Amino acid sequence: MRPPAPAVLGLLLLMLLSPGEATKKPTPCKRCRELVDKFNQGMVDTAKKNFGGGNTAWEEKTLSKYEFSEVRLLEIMEGLCGTSDFECNQLLEEHEGLLETWWLRLKKKYPDLFEWFCVKTLKVCCAPGTYGPDCLACQGGSERPCSGNGHCSGDGSRQGDGSCQCHLGYRGPLCADCMDGYFNSLRNETHSICSACDESCKTCTGPTNRDCSQCEVGWAREDDACVDVDECTAEPPPCEEQQYCENVSGSFACQGERLRPAAPPASSPQNVILPAWAARGRVLDSVKSASPATRKRVASAQTLTSARWRKSPV
């Protein structure tokens, strides 16, 4: 039996992937950035490669030629993409001439390959702090997008809308305001820093329990400070019977298991099924609650069983 062709294997793999995984592809900007990162790493790996013979003057003369040579460029290009990396190989094949032009003619004038290749030439990326097809400045400006307290949607790419996705503790269109539970420890025209309130505060103006504007649930204001409320002393008690209440950090917890409900009583004593009794005819205690007629039948059976046990050899 012949093994399936590579194309068939690829199709099967595609079918096994979920729709989101199968359709999710890296953006053109990400592909370009990855290629540039590999190129830069290739330059590091080939720096002063195959030299070190001890003749400093000869090495400096020879290395200066190798540094910008086509030989070094070829070595870098050969290590850029793996054989199975289709996206990388496709991008390299399409723009190999541009990389060669930058290496041989424009490297000194435009030392930042990413900016020249991805931003200005291919126009698939934007400079940091800008977004969208026209590379507009993010909210808060390209120097400090989102006041430095969030991420700009589409930052550095030709995508997104430039809106701010704030870090924990911050809110507002520019991420300059504080969420509940945080207060401004520093704020001026360019910077806004939010720090956490004391655990007793829902809102606050400072770091202690005396700076609370509003107490958190489970805390109450007492002597100009938010203090822990002992819910375990409340009436009626907050926990079920056979449980004990534990008050920890502004909240309480009921510890222990609740009592299981008792088994429902038999609907009719006359319908009691004779239970099994222990060795030598001892009747279980549950029979004592049966009707007189039932107890009489049980007593007779007990007498008969006892007689049998007496006759039995030990």
Residue with tokens 């808060």: 140
Contacts of 272 (CB under 8 A, 6+ apart): 266, 287, 289, 290, 291, 294
Contacts for 116 with CB less than 8 Å, ≥ 6 apart: 102, 106, 110
204, 183 Cβ separation under 8 angstroms: yes
267-309 pLDDT, tens per residue? 544 444 444 444 444 444 444 555 565 555 655 555 544 444 4
How does pLDDT run across 192-233, given as a tens digit for each residue? 999 999 999 999 999 999 999 999 988 999 989 999 887 777
Give me the pLDDT at residue 147, please: 93
Distance CA 40, CA 228 (A): 58
Number of neighbouring beta carbons within 10 Å of residue 271: 10
pLDDT digits (tens, 9 = 90+) for 222-277: 989 999 887 777 667 767 766 777 766 556 677 765 444 445 555 544 444 444 44
Task: Lowest mean pLDDT of 39-48, 82-91, 240-249, 289-298, name the range.
Answer: 289-298
pLDDT at 63 over 60: no
Q: Of the candidates 177, 180, 220, which has an alpha carbon nearest to the alpha carbon of residue 197?
A: 180
Q: What distances in angstroms separate CA 132 from CA 24, 109, 142, 153, one per listed residue? A: 20, 27, 13, 9
Q: How confident is the model at residue 136 (pLDDT cuts 50, 70, 90)?
A: very high
d(CA 35, CA 174): 33
- In terms of pLDDT, which residue wins out, 100 or 60? 100
- Report the SS3 class of residue 30: helix
Residue 134 CA to residue 130 CA, distance in Å, equals 9
Q: How far apart are CA 231 and CA 184, in angstroms?
A: 32
User: What pLDDT, on the 0 to 100 scale, is given for residue 57?
Assistant: 53
Position with higher pLDDT, 58 vs 98:
98
Strand partners, 165: 151
Is residue 6 very low, low, confident or very high in pLDDT (cuts 50, 70, 90)? Answer: very low
Residue type, 171: R
pLDDT computed for residue 213 by the predictor: 94
Strands (E), 231-289: 244-248, 251-255
Each as own residue / partner, the long-range contacts of residues 279-283 (CB below 8 Å, 24 or more positions apart, any chain) are 280/305, 280/306, 280/309, 281/305, 281/306, 281/309
Which DSSP category does 224 fall into? T
- Higher-confidence residue of 152 and 11: namely 152
pLDDT for the residue numbered 64? 60
Peptide bond into 313 cis (omega under 30): no
How high is the mean pLDDT of the chain? Answer: 77
- Look at residue 248 in the predicted model and tell me its pLDDT: 64
Q: Please state, in angstroms and rounded to a whole number, the distance separating the CA atoms of residues 49 and 74.
A: 13
pLDDT value at 5 more than 60: no
Alpha carbon of 22 to those of 35, 59, 89, 227: distances in Å?
22, 51, 20, 54
Predicted confidence (pLDDT) at residue 70 exceeds the cutoff of 80: yes
pLDDT of res. 239: 77
Percent of the chain with pLDDT over 70: 65
* Sign, Cα dihedral of 269, 270, 275, 279: positive
